[in-house]
Copies of this chain bind each other. A is one copy, B any other.
Amino acid sequence: MSERIGFIGLGIMGAGMAGNLLTDGFDVTVWNRTAARTEALVEAGAARADSPADLGGAVDVVVLCVSDTPDVVDVTEQLEPGLSEGMLVIDCSTISPDVTRELHARMAEWGVGWVDSPVSGGSEGAIAGTLAAIVGGVDHDVARARPVLGAFCHTITHVGGPGAGQACKLVNQILVVTTMLGVSEALVFAAGQGLDLDATIDAVSGGAAGSWMLEHRGPQVVDGYWEPGFSIDLQQKDLRLVLEAADRAEVPVMATGLVFQLYRSLQHEGRGGEGNHALVKAIEKLAGIEARRER
């Protein structure tokens, strides 16, 4: 018999994910802070709960997909009266690894499992069911979560115990922004040398200098295309998690800290909605030169 799923958080990501659970034949109950967001899913066959506690009482597995650490803490507190032994919570939000470990320990006292499973792949991936999940949790909880995650994920990578999924997602974010810092500095240097930027990217992409960011975002920089794959505002929320987790673990993150401050300067210019590759604009401002293709 298939598990009954509760889904909390029907934002740009959650709505697509919950829709895919329905498509896969799961019995789904939804709750959202803004109730209007539940309508389309109820039309598609979902039940609607009046509160997180109500939802908890009606299902076996609860999936969370909210914005940030305080939202997960808040909704979990509301959910608690409805939880009972043997249930499982799968948190698909990207939040603090430390708070995740605390929530896991708290739930374990009541016999409720907690799997952290931050996802990436954007709203298109949520709708298409092709997200990538990086998962932390104890083995039997993760095994139980897999078929649920499988409804909206293409790849599910179990990296370690409770909190490891969140921590690994933050490692991913460190790599994304620091690589973009290097790409930005390299492109601005190249512009300062009068190089043809397309030829330069082509010449260096294939070897030890190569990266996903250089190959995919480098040409967008040169082209002046700033639509977000992942916006600066969302990136900042994740970098704040990195800085906080690094501080708690007493690990310096010099390059990531620098990127956070540079993004801050771009947010002040109203560029928070631009893609994270617009980091180059902060470097360009410092250099007084743009790394754009001549037109």
Contacts and interface: CB of A to CB of B under 8 A. Distances in A.
Interface of A: 97, 120, 132, 134, 157, 159-160, 163-164, 167-168, 170-179, 181-183, 185-190, 192-196, 199-200, 202-204, 207-214, 216, 229-230, 242, 245-246, 249-256, 258, 283, 286-289
Contacts of A173: 209
A172 B189 CA distance: 11
A254 B259 CA distance: 11
Given A186-B174, A210-B211, A211-B175, A160 B202 contact: no
Contact of A199 (B160, B170, B203): B160
Highest count of chain B CB atoms <10 Å: which of A194, A196, A255: A255
Contacts of A189: 170-171, 174, 242, 245-246, 249, 251, 253
A251 B192 contact: yes
A293 B36 CA distance: 50
Number of copies: 2
Contacts of A214: 175
Contacts of A253: 185, 189
A163 B190 CA distance: 12
Contact of A255 (B181, B288, B289): B181
A154 to B, nearest CB: 11
Nearest to A257: B185
B289 A251 contact: yes
Given A120-B207, A251-B188, A175 B167 contact: no
A270 to B, nearest CB: 24
A288 B250 CA distance: 9
A178 B181 contact: yes
Contacts of A212: 207-211
Contacts of A177: 182
